[in-house]
Amino acid sequence: MQSNNLRDNYGPLINNNEAPITVNQYSTINRESELRKILNCLLNAPLEDTSELDKTSYKIEAKLDYNNITDDWYEIITDEFYLFESTINDTLKQSIDGIPPKGKFLLQMQRHYRDAKKELGLISATQDSIKANSSNILNKVFEYLYNFLKSKDEINEHYDEGNIKVLIAFGFIECKILEKP
């Protein structure tokens, strides 16, 4: 026998089906669009250091262990980044002023990493000190990128925190942020 009460007949109850119920209306496509916008803004920033990039790669798990990444940054680097990896790589293939954008972007990440270490008093720190402060360093790099984008009026509150963290994960994976094993 069916009940005459709509709550009993139509799906699960969420907070007793009382308003307000918020549904996130932003899709992955919108987030990818915002990610491209952020990347393009960063790529148009002046580049001070044009030295060669070290292209040595490392296994991500080894680098995560070596730098003692265990907090929410671990999930961003190991899970969330891969949802947007192709968007980042596609965007970084487009040449800007004859400079390979991937190299330019990675040099910027490396500069923010050095600035974060300097501000945190870790410029000539031991690996143990870097490990102990890895989250602080990543958070400081985030702060630099967020403030830069805010100064350029490129902030979209729905996506930017997550997108900036995904870009930092890319810098980490490409060995421009934190130390190599």
pLDDT of the residue at 19: 47
pTM of the model: 0.71
Query: How many residues can be counted in the chain?
Result: 181
pLDDT of the residue at 22: 42
pLDDT of the residue at 141: 95
pLDDT of 179 strictly over 60: yes
pLDDT of the residue at 162: 85
Averaged confidence pLDDT in the chain: 76
Contact (Cβ atoms closer than 8 angstroms) between residue 147 and residue 58: no
Q: Identify which of 145, 158, 70 has the alpha carbon closest to the alpha carbon of residue 113.
A: 145
Distances (CA, A) of 161 to 21, 26, 106, 142, 154: 23, 14, 19, 8, 12
Q: Which residues contact 179 (CB under 8 A, 6 or more apart)?
A: 66, 67, 127, 130
pLDDT of 4 strictly over 90: no
Distance separating alpha carbons of residues 91 and 88, to the nearest angstrom: 5
- Please state the rounded mean pLDDT for residues 41-67: 70
Distance separating alpha carbons of residues 129 and 50, to the nearest angstrom: 28
pLDDT of the residue at 101: 80
Q: Identify which of 88, 92, 115 has the alpha carbon closest to the alpha carbon of residue 177.
A: 115
Two tokens at 135? 């989250």
Q: What is the pLDDT of residues 75-127, one digit of tens each?
A: 999 888 888 888 888 888 866 556 578 888 888 889 999 999 999 999 988 98
pLDDT of the residue at 24: 44
- Please state the rounded mean pLDDT for residues 35-55: 63
pLDDT of the residue at 3: 45
pLDDT of the residue at 55: 55
Picking from 31-35, 121-125, 169-173, which range would have the lowest pLDDT averaged per residue? 31-35
pLDDT of 73 strictly over 90: yes
Q: Which residue has the higher pLDDT, 177 or 98?
A: 177
pLDDT of 7 strictly over 70: no
